[in-house]
Amino acid sequence: MRFARTKPNRKKRGPSVSGTWSILHPWHAFSAMGKCMKTTINETSREECIDICNKMLRGERSAVETYNLAIDKFESEPATSQLRRIRDEHQNSVADLESNVRNMGGDPDDSSGAWGVFAKAVQGTANLFGEESAIESLEQGEEKGLDDYRDAVEEGLLPECHALFTNRLIPRVESHLRTLKVLEETV
């Protein structure tokens, strides 16, 4: 696929008659899938991408710890099994992010950091007020995680990180939010 350059600040026009793409800025390129990735001067460095993945890894570790607290609070089996499934998916996200960091030549963070301490305190307090409050707290955590993933994608990522975030991690969090909304209605 060939890419045609246009003047800066010009809007993307889409494929031309010849099948080439007009692009917004010289540093944007459109893959065959139509996704925009930074490619030259403004490309996210490998170290920056490792840092972003480690930040998200700490959040995923925190989510696993938080779901463990919530699971201990719930007595109803349908809710507990759903919460276990979500926790297990967060464990899968931990494994995916660890692998991605290693593949980029980095060292995965092995703790949830300060955010984990804060999240556990918030969840512990919410658990004191009952199952509905605990679910609301989990929803807020998932929404924060989703915002963080989307912000990272918008800021620009290396292709391997971009694909992991958009194809696997963001859809998981969106699924968790849908499940928690259903649980909130039933507790």
DSSP state letters, 92-151: HHHHHHHHHHHHTT-----S-HHHHHHHHHHHHHHHHT-HHHHHHHHHHHHHHHHHHHHH
* Residue 41 to residues 24, 29, 109, Cα–Cα distance (Å): 15, 12, 28
Co-location of 15 and 70 in the same domain = no
pLDDT number for residue 112: 62
Amino acid 74: pLDDT: 76
52 and 71 assigned to the same domain: yes
pLDDT in tens, 43-65: 458 999 999 999 999 999 989 98
pLDDT at 84: 95
Tell me, what DSSP letter sits at residue 40? S
**Domain extent at residue 29:** 1-43
Q: Do 18 and 54 share a domain, yes or no?
A: no
63 in the same domain as 26: no
Specify the pTM: 0.70
- Compute the C-alpha angle 183/113/171, nearest 5°: 40
Shared domain check, 140 and 61: yes
Residues in the chain, pLDDT under 70: 1-44, 112-131
As for how many domains the chain has, the answer is 2
Q: So what's the pLDDT on residue 113? A: 64
Asked if residue 143 lies in contact with residue 151, where contact means CB atoms within 8 angstroms, the answer is no
Q: Do 51 and 38 fall within a single domain?
A: no
87, 57: one domain? yes
Same-domain pairing of 109 and 133:
yes
